[in-house]
Amino acid sequence: MTEPSDTAEELAAWQRRLVQALDEAAELPVDTRGATPFEAHAVYGHGVTLRRYPPPATGQRRPVLIVYSLVNRPFILDLTERRSLIRALCDAGHPVYLLDWGRPQGADRFLTLADYIDGALAKAARDIRAEEGGAPDLLGICQGGVLALCLAALHPARVRRLVTLATPVDCRTPDDHLSRMAQHVDFDRAARTLGNIPAEWLNSVFVALKPYQLLGQRYAELPELAGNREALHDFLRLERWMYDSPDQAATAFAEFARELYQRNALLYGRLEIAGQRVRLGDIRQPVLNVFAQQDHLVPPPAARALGAHVRASSYEELAFPGGHLGVFISRRAHRELIPRVVSWLAAE
């Protein structure tokens, strides 16, 4: 039986470690630009910028265009030198491009999905082809994977091959908690009322899906980082990423939530972009579909549905034993998963 004095001593020690960790954290800078140098290759308006990360040596591999989610900042893909998907691709010899969607301003509330997909994304793929001499391989992540699928279906000449990571395709699977929440929201009314959708509102939704892990457990373990500068710095970078999200362009956000999560329009070929139907069956490029087995945002069945609908010249799946963020920031992902993605991209 634990004595009260022992419990009090353990609690006091925990509090001392917490104070130490907080004091050390206050002295650490948190850079949100990422760990890998890049250049602004093109600007497409509305704050959208195409970044280029040059490889250590030129002319070795085909270009890769990373299409990340609209709802978060992309520096999670370049969190540290040790945990950087971008660095891994560069080190493999790929010229890496990334669309930074920026932070929508008040006048951007009227931007549509077509502005992002048939506008900025299509232009980026065109410009990369002109710069590199060939169409890029697309690497679409989460919501960005949906945008990448749309581009591959509508503009096949601008995409050589396609990798999707944690990408929702069937948004009405039984274990999709985000979809269940979305059924009860009038997104068009929210857009009319709020204008651009506040990042704080979206963050509260994501936290509500996994409150114990994102709040209680995460911070309860903070004292264990006291005295470990590297681990504490990693914690702070991830913390900044979680709460540094941009507001969402109202029209595009409402369109995405309504069409994908309420109508499941991507799965059934009913999603329209710039007057054209997006049909997954029109995707003929080779596809690698990666999903996380413990993903609380994109359950495995939501991602695996892609395989039954594309008509790709080759289709492969990779199941990763981890969560949504684990597919690109965990040590296991960098040891096992990302090398397999790099190997797939290297194949002819």
Distance CA 99, CA 68 (A): 7
How distant, in Å, are the alpha carbons of 39, 74, 91, 133, 332 from that of 56?
Answer: 14, 21, 7, 19, 25
Q: Is 150 a catalytic residue?
A: no
Nearest Cα neighbor of 248 from 73, 76, 130, 92 is 73
Per the CB < 8 A criterion, the answer to whether 65 and 137 are in contact is yes
Distance CA 100, CA 208 (A): 27
Per the CB < 8 A criterion, the answer to whether 167 and 149 are in contact is yes
Distance CA 182, CA 204 (A): 14
Q: What are phi and psi of 125, to 5 degrees?
A: -60, -40
Catalytic residue among 90, 142, 150, 171: 142
Taking CA 142 as the corner, what is the angle to CA 140 and CA 147, rounded to the nearest 5 degrees?
50
Q: How far apart are the first and last CA of the chain?
A: 64
- Catalytic positions are 142
